[in-house]
Amino acid sequence: MQVRVYFEDTDAGRIVYHANYLRFMERGRTNFLRLLGTDQGALLDGVSDFAFVVRSMQIEFHKPAFLDDVLEIVTAPEQVRGASLILNQRCQRGGDLVAEARVRVAFVSAGKAQRIPKLLRDAMQGDQAD
């Protein structure tokens, strides 16, 4: 998924402010779910007030990104478990790795951790094989 760096994403030096990478990666995670090709309506039948919540994140910054850069956000599952998953995310500019993160996410419904719906879990596990 591509993200363009706008002025609002930068500091006074027109370099991306570090916290904005979290926003870019959030968009990448949302897009990852969309690209799995699952029928989200069927997936969530019977599940109310669901959310994926970030439980922890480790992030490494390798190079700065600048105003008007086009960044590629790549999201891939590392591990898919019953109620949680670990995603690897990379923020790249051309061939340069700008930032990378390892994100642990939990599936929550009605305020409690719940098993990820089977259809979605299967789609993510299938993506691991690619």
Q: Annotated active-site positions, please?
A: 11
Asked if residues 58 and 124 have their Cβ atoms less than 8 Å apart, the reply is: no
Say how many CA atoms lie within 13 Å of 112 toward its Cβ.
Answer: 4
Q: Which helix (H) or strand (E) holds 122?
A: helix 118-128
- The burial class, CB within 10 Å (0-12 / 13-18 / 19+), for 108 is middle
